[in-house]
Amino acid sequence: MAVDEAILEAVWRRTSLPTLRLYAWEPPCLSLGYAQPLSDVDLPRLQAHGWDLVRRPTGGRAILHTDELTYSVAAPPDEERLAGTVLEAYHRLALALLEALHRLGLPAEIQERSAALQGPNTNPVCFEVPSSSEIIIGGKKLVGSAQARRREGVLQHGSLPLTGDLTRILEVLVFPDEGARGRAAARLLGRATTVASVLGHPLSWDQASQAFIAAFQDVLKLELRPGALTSAEVARADELVRIKYTHPDWRGESIR
């Protein structure tokens, strides 16, 4: 999360180009939306699993990052491809995500949802919560994304679950009893899916990432160039880890 924010700041300063970043997580990490209460998390269970915890700079609800491809897009405020409202920009990026999935042989589609129909968001799990420009297969959510607009520009990132048991996230969230946890697992499996579940076989991270690169180039008319983090981005990310992402106030420990 600190790296995504450091890239956005560098893009705003024009010391880095607008960036599509593709990455994975080791060890698995539970991420919370910026306004989600830490009280949703069963911290002893999380520690027992050896999983990390981070709060995202974007909204949304909890995601367990493991066995997935994570993408982030960082662009300055004047990037024409992300001009207009948040929903308009979100939809344009959804078209690129949709093309990537089609290249992987996934019969995904975009399902638009109005804010009025979504209702209040009290569910702790991202993949159970509907959003605008939802990417679904057979009525089940496949990609979880969130966007933030700041002075520096637009940051959007999201998760494509490649394989594994989606209900693992429920092992580290708070429920009144095990019956409620079990019912939540059944709901989640009815509302979300993974690439491997749809295709009947796993795809590698490299296969998925190449599809993302090709789709973003074609749909958004981009020329993407492979690159590494600059020394300034690395230094800023390290600083953000120290002063923000591991700070009790950001994590929400003081208001738990």
Q: Is the pLDDT of residue 148 over 80?
A: yes
Q: Is the pLDDT of residue 13 over 80?
A: yes
Read off the pLDDT of residues 129-146 as tens digits, 9 standing for 90 and up.
545 678 999 999 999 999
Q: What is the pLDDT of residue 192?
A: 95
Nearest-Å Rg of the Cα atoms of the chain is 18
Report CA 195 to chain centroid distance, whole Å: 15
Read off the pLDDT of residues 57-79 as tens digits, 9 standing for 90 and up.
998 889 999 999 999 999 999 99
Q: What is the pLDDT of residue 118?
A: 46
Read off the pLDDT of residues 27-64 as tens digits, 9 standing for 90 and up.
999 999 999 999 999 999 999 999 999 999 998 889 99
Q: What is the pLDDT of residue 245?
A: 96
The single residue of 1, 126, 146, 148 carrying the catalytic annotation is: 126
Out of 3.30.930.10, 3.40.640.10, 3.40.50.1370, 3.30.420.40, select the CATH number for domain 2-255.
Answer: 3.30.930.10
Respond yes or no: is residue 126 known to be catalytic. yes
Q: Is the pLDDT of residue 9 over 90?
A: yes
Q: Is the pLDDT of residue 164 over 50?
A: yes
Do 23 and 155 contact (CB within 8 A), yes or no? no
Mean pLDDT, the chain, as a whole number? 91
How far is CA 193 from each of CA 47, 128, 130, 176, rounded to the nearest angstrom? 26, 10, 14, 25
Read off the pLDDT of residues 173-222 as tens digits, 9 standing for 90 and up.
999 999 999 999 999 999 999 999 999 999 999 999 999 999 999 999 99
Contacts of 75-82 spanning 24+ positions with Cβ under 8 A? 75/11, 75/18, 75/19, 75/153, 75/154, 76/11, 76/12, 76/14, 76/18, 76/152, 76/153, 77/12, 77/151, 77/152, 77/153, 77/154, 79/18, 79/153, 79/154, 81/220, 81/221, 82/154
